[in-house]
Structure 1
Amino acid sequence: MGASAWDYYVPYQADLGAALEELHQRVFLAGDYYWVRGDDSLPEEERRPRPSTPDELWADEWTQHSGTHSVLDVFHVQREDEEPEVCAVQPVTAEEARKAAGTERLTRAHVPAIQDLARDRWYGRCAVLHDDHGRPQEIYFWGWSGD
């Protein structure tokens, strides 16, 4: 299948990890992810209904290999000073924002300028986006995942 790009906007909150957890819940409950066991290309006897919990989703060996092609494939937000980890979200640093968009106070208008900061499969990024008055308004999560 190959990797898939994904992106989401959520209301701003200071705790990026909590925002990611809430986004996980929303995406899982909405079924807004790839469920490898539900793929129409599978023989009927290999298909399974969607899991009822995230633990059930990740207990499936096929999902562990293929991922969900969504934000569910990243599990926590790192600190800015940490080396990037597989299956984690790394916040955009002030230096990266300045270099990519010319400002530290990113807005939705800057999203095209920062999207290339998520280059590698199985890594996510996030950025706080501001309103026209410079106040934090939302968080943008994006990345690539899936096999």
Structure 2
Amino acid sequence: MGASAWDYYVPYQADLGAALEELRHRVFLAGDYYWVRGGDWLAEQERRPRPVTLDELWADEWTQHSGTHSILDVFHVQREDEEPEICAVQPVTAEEAQRAAGTGRLTREHVEAIQDLARERWYGRCAVLHDDHGTPQEIYFWGWSGD
């Protein structure tokens, strides 16, 4: 199947980890992810209903290998000073924003300029987006995952 790009906008909150957890919960409840065991390419008797919990989802070996092609494939937000880690989200630093978009205060208009900051599969990024007055408005999460 190959990796899939994903991206999400959520309302701003200072705790990026809490924002990620709320987003993951929402995506899971909505069923807005790839469920490898539910594919119509499987014989009817091999198909499985969607998991009821995230723990059940990740207990499935097929999911562990293929992923969900969504935000569910990343589990926590790293600190800006940590080395990038698989299945994690790393915030865009002010220096990265300045290099990519020419400003340390990103807005929605800068999203295209920062897209390449997430280049690796099974790795996500996030950026706080501001309004025209410099007030944080939302958080943008994006990345690539799945096999």
Task: Please name the residue that 2:57 is paired with.
Answer: 57
Tell me how far 1:46 sits from its aligned partner: 1.1
* TM-superposition CA deviations, 1:78-129 (whole Å, max 9, x none): 0000000000000001110000000010000000000010000000000000
Task: Please name the residue that 1:85 is paired with.
Answer: 85
Counterpart-to-counterpart distance in 1, 2:44 and 2:143:
32
Tell me how far 1:35 sits from its aligned partner: 0.1
Task: Please name the residue that 2:74 is paired with.
Answer: 74
Counterpart-to-counterpart distance in 2, 1:42 and 1:84:
35
Identity %: 88
Counterpart-to-counterpart distance in 1, 2:141 and 2:73:
12
Which segments of structure 1 move beyond 2 Å, counting only runs of 4 or more? none
One-letter amino acid of the structure 2 residue matched with residue 69 of structure 1 = H
**Residue 106 (1) aligns with residue 106 (2):** yes
One-letter amino acid of the structure 1 residue matched with residue 113 of structure 2 = A
One-letter amino acid of the structure 1 residue matched with residue 134 of structure 2 = G
SS at match of 1:49: coil
One-letter amino acid of the structure 1 residue matched with residue 102 of structure 2 = G
Tell me how far 1:21 sits from its aligned partner: 0.2
TM-score, normalized by length of structure 1? 0.99
Counterpart-to-counterpart distance in 2, 1:45 and 1:84:
40
SS at match of 2:114: helix
SS at match of 2:41: coil
Task: Please name the residue that 1:118 is paired with.
Answer: 118
Task: Please name the residue that 1:12 is paired with.
Answer: 12
* TM-superposition CA deviations, 1:11-56 (whole Å, max 9, x none): 0000000000000010000000000000111111110000000000
Instruction: Give the aligned CA root-mean-square deviation in angstroms.
Output: 0.4
SS at match of 2:56: helix
Task: Give the paired residue count.
Answer: 147
**Residue 35 (1) aligns with residue 28 (2):** no
Counterpart-to-counterpart distance in 2, 1:145 and 1:47:
22
Task: Please name the residue that 2:47 is paired with.
Answer: 47
Counterpart-to-counterpart distance in 1, 2:125 and 2:77:
9
